[in-house]
Amino acid sequence: MLVLTRRPGEKIVIGDSVTLTVVEAHRDAVRIGIEAPRDVKIQRAELLDDEVEGGQQTAR
């Protein structure tokens, strides 16, 4: 895992088409803006975990 330090207004570029911008940073939370093409799926990890758990419960 690559770990970077960024301040509000600073950006991280991923590949040719995804840009992450630190919008706000507080002691316990960071707001991130994401610019990406519409075909790039963006989801919070906890939502993916819920989908996996939900699928396993349904399959039983």
**What is the per-residue pLDDT across 10-51, written as a single tens digit (0 to 9) for each?**
999 999 999 999 999 999 999 999 999 999 999 999 888 776
Structural domain containing residue 19 = 8-45
Q: Please report the pLDDT score of residue 37 as a whole number.
A: 98
E strand map for the chain: 11-14, 18-25, 30-35
Instruction: Please state the domain count of the chain.
Output: 1
58 lies in some domain: no
Q: Does residue 38 lie in a domain region?
A: yes
pLDDT at 59: 42
60: pLDDT strictly greater than 50: no
What's the pTM value of the predicted model, to 2 decimals?
0.75
